[in-house]
Amino acid sequence: MKTGSLRARLILITLGMLALVLVAVVSAVTLAYRAKLDGDLRDRLAGAGSAIAGTGSGFDLKPLIPSLALEGIAVHLGPSAPDRSGKQALVARPGKGALAARPAKNGTTTGIQTRGSLLVLDVVLADGTHVSLSASGVSLDHAVTNLLLVELLVAAAALLLATLLVLRGTRTALRPLSAVIETATRIAGGDSKLRLEPSRTDTELGRLAAAFDRMVDALEEAVDEARASETATRRFLADASHELRNPVAAVQASVETLLREQPERPERDRLEAEVARDAERLGRLVDDLLGLARLEARPTRASADLAAIVRPLVEDARARAPNATIALSLDDHTTVQGDPDALERVLRNLIDNALAAIAPAGRIDVQLSRRNGYAEVLVADDGPGVPESERRHIFERFVRLDPSKPGHGLGLAIARRIAQQHDGDLTCDPASKGASFTLRLPIEP
C-alpha cells in the first residue's frame, strides 16, 4: 500500500488540473485575439486598396495618402504603362533581392501578401500607375504581447489564490481522517470503548468510519473471546487434572497393592477388576477430553439427513431397553448442513442420558420436526428430571447431577458445543415430568 501524503497528492492534482485549464484558456484567448487583429488589419488594407483602385489615376490618389497614413497604411507609387507594341507592361513588386515581374491589368488589385512583418497589397490604377500599399504587423505583435503579459499575471494570481483555497479546503476536507487517526491512537492506548459513530453512512467518509467501528467491534469481540477461551482453558485444565487424578490414583493404588502384597484369590480378582474398571473409566475420560479439544476446529460441512441419523439410534435404544417405551415421530427429509458423525454423537448422548434416567419400564419420546426454518429434535423422558436451578449449569464441563452414576460431566458440554458450531443450540426445556432436551439446527436451504 502506497503511503504518500494524501494532502500533497490532492493539492498537486488540483493545482495541476487548474494550471492546464489556465494554459488552455490563455492560449485560446491569445490566438483568437491575434487572429482578430490580423483580420482587422487585412480588412483595412483591402478597403484602402478598393478606395485607391476607384480613383483611376495617380493624381487623384494623392489626397487619400494622409488619411491612409493615419490608419497605419503606407502608400508607394510607381509608373507602369503599356509599351509601343500594345502589350501589357510588367509591374514591379518589391521583394527580397531582385524585382519580381508579372503581367498587370489596369484598374485591378493583387491579393494581400506577407513580406516579413509587412502586409502588402499591389494596385494598378486605370492610368497604369502602380501603387503598393503596406501595413506593419509590429503593432499587432505588441498588442498580443501586452495581452499575453496581462493574461499570465492574472493566471498567476488565480493560481496563487487557488493554492491558498485548496490548502484550506484540503485541511477542512481531511479533518475527519485526523479524527480517525486520533481515535485509533486512543483505542490503541487502551480506550477500547471509543468509537467514531458517523452521522451519515452514505458517504465515503461515513462508510470508512462505519467500517472502522465494525472492525474495532470485531477486534474487541475477538479479544473478549480470547480472554474467555483462555479462562475456559485454565478451568478445563484444572478440572481435567482433577478428574484424571482420581482414576490414575485408584489404578496406581490397586497395582501397588497387587505388586506389594501379592494377595490370594478372590482378593486378587477384586483388585484386578478395580484396575480394569478404573482403566476403562480413564480411557472414556481421555476420549471425552480429546473430543472436547477437537471441537475447537471447525466441523466439516455436508448435507446431513437428521431422520436417517435418529432412526437407527432409536432402534438401538429399543434393543438395549426392551421393556421401555421409546416413541419416535419423524418429519422425513429434514436436511441440515454439518458433520453427520458429530450430530450423531449429540443425539446418541441425549438418548443415552434418557435411557440412564428412566426406570426399566419408563418412556422416552423422540420427535423430529420443522419450525421457523429450523429442524428441532426433542428428546424427553419420564425420569427424575432436571431441577430448575441446575438447568443453567448442566451444560458446563464436569457437572454431574448424580455423581453415583457413570460419566464425567462432559457429554452435554460436548453436545452443546457441537450444536453451536453448526449455528444452532441445545437447550434443556421446562417439563412437567422428567427431562426434556431440544436440539435446534438451521435447515439447509
Q: Express each pLDDT in 158-216 by its tens digit.
A: 999 999 998 888 888 777 778 888 888 888 887 878 888 888 888 877 888 888 888 88
Q: What is the pLDDT of residue 289?
A: 67
4-13, 134-143, 268-277, 361-370: which is most confident: 361-370
Tens digit of each residue's pLDDT (9 = 90 or more) over 235-275:
666 766 766 776 788 788 888 888 888 888 888 888 888 88
Higher pLDDT, 108 or 183: 183
Contact (Cβ atoms closer than 8 angstroms) between residue 334 and residue 443 = yes
C-alpha cell at 347: 443425539
- Residue 292 pLDDT: 61
Determine the topology of domain 300-442 in CATH. Answer: Heat Shock Protein 90 (3.30.565)
Domain(s) of CATH 3.30.565.10: residues in the chain: 300-442
The answer, yes or no, to whether residue 84 has pLDDT greater than 70, is: no
Amino acid of residue 357: A
Confidence band, pLDDT 50/70/90 cuts, at residue 82: very low
pLDDT in tens, 317-368: 999 999 999 999 988 778 898 888 889 989 998 998 899 889 999 999 999 9
Angle separating helix axes 204-261 and 267-294, nearest 10 degrees: 170
β 363-371/325-329 pair status: parallel
pLDDT at 326: 93
pLDDT value of position 87: 38
Tell me which fold the domain 204-291 belongs to.
Answer: Helix Hairpins (1.10.287)
Does a cis peptide bond (omega within 30 degrees of 0) precede residue 66?
Answer: no
List of residues 6+ apart from 280 with CB closer than 8 A: none
CATH 1.10.287 segments of the chain = 204-291
Q: Hey, which residues does 441 pair with through a beta bridge? A: 375
Nearest-Å Rg of the Cα atoms of the chain is 53
In the predicted model, what is the mean pLDDT of the chain?
80
